[in-house]
């Protein structure tokens, strides 16, 4: 089976029923996306398939028809995505376990809506839970990221 992840092509030997998250973490070595609940209820495993946010813990790898992007593919420590930059500046994370998923949902939101309202943010981010309760900083970071993106940074 071939899978394109973060712009790179991988040949993997996986049961088509294997959740995409396991293929990413265990077979390809992309440990950025996290295992949280395993039932698509928390959002820690969020990655993009052709730009759309999906819960990789519950998506069989055999059903993936498109390029996969993980947190490791949107930016690097030396060259952060505007959303990562905003997350850094707003000091969003506490334990950080959910944040890869939060960031991927936020990236997808800003690709759709350049200047999201509070309601847009609530709608797009409602499926990403944070037990540390970093929601207020997530909201301000999304607004900062929107400004950074508009300014072309």
Partner 1 sequence: MASVGKIARRTFLIGAAAVAGGVAVGYYYYRKPFPNPLEAELGKGEATFNPYVKIGADNTITIVAPRAEMGQGISTTLAVMVAEELDVGLDRVKVEHGPASYAYYNAAILEEGGPFAFFDESMTAQAVRSGLGVVGKFLALQGTGGSASTRDGFDKMRQAGAAARQMLIAAAAQKLGVAAADLETADGSILHKPSGKSLTYGAVAAVAAAMAPPAEVRLKDRADWKLLGKPQKRIDMLAKVTGAPIFGIDVRLPDMLYGTVKMSPRFWSRPVKADLSRAEKMTV
Note whether 132 binds partner 1 by CB under 8 A. yes
The residue from 23, 34, 107, 124 that contacts partner 1 (CB under 8 A) is 34
The residue from 1, 97, 120, 135 that contacts partner 1 (CB under 8 A) is 97
The residue from 38, 60, 62, 75 that contacts partner 1 (CB under 8 A) is 75
**Distance between CA atoms of 68 and 48, rounded to whole angstroms?**
6
Q: Which is nearer to partner 1, 88 or 153 (CB)?
A: 88
Q: Which is nearer to partner 1, 124 or 141 (CB)?
A: 141
**Distance between CA atoms of 133 and 149, rounded to whole angstroms?**
25
Q: Which is nearer to partner 1, 31 or 58 (CB)?
A: 31
Strand segments, DSSP code E, in the chain are: 2-5, 8-11, 46-49, 52-55, 68-69
Residue given tokens 């899978």 in the structure block: 3
**Distance between CA atoms of 96 and 23, rounded to whole angstroms?**
22
The residue from 93, 109, 110, 148 that contacts partner 1 (CB under 8 A) is 93
**Distance between CA atoms of 95 and 15, rounded to whole angstroms?**
33
Note whether 45 binds partner 1 by CB under 8 A. no
**Distance between CA atoms of 99 and 92, rounded to whole angstroms?**
8
Residue numbers of the site for partner 1 (CB under 8 A)? 31-35, 70-72, 75-77, 80, 84, 87-88, 91-97, 99-100, 103, 132
């Amino acid at each position: 089976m071939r899978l394109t992840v973060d712009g790179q092509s991988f040949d993997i030997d996986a049961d088509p029923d294997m959740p995409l998250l396991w293929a990413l973490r265990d077979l390809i070595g992309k440990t950025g996306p996290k295992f949280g609940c395993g039932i698509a209820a928390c959002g820690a495993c969020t990655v993009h398939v052709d730009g759309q946010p999906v819960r990789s813990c519950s998506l069989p790898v055999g059903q993936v028809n498109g390029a996969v992007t993980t947190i490791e593919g949107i930016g690097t420590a030396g060259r952060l995505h505007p959303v990562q930059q905003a997350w850094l500046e707003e000091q969003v994370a506490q334990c950080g376990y959910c944040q890869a998923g939060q960031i991927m949902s936020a990236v997808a939101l800003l690709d759709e809506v350049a200047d999201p309202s509070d309601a847009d943010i609530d709608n797009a981010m409602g499926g990403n839970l944070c037990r540390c309760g970093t929601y207020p900083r997530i909201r301000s970071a999304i607004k900062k990221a929107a400004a950074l993106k508009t300014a072309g940074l």
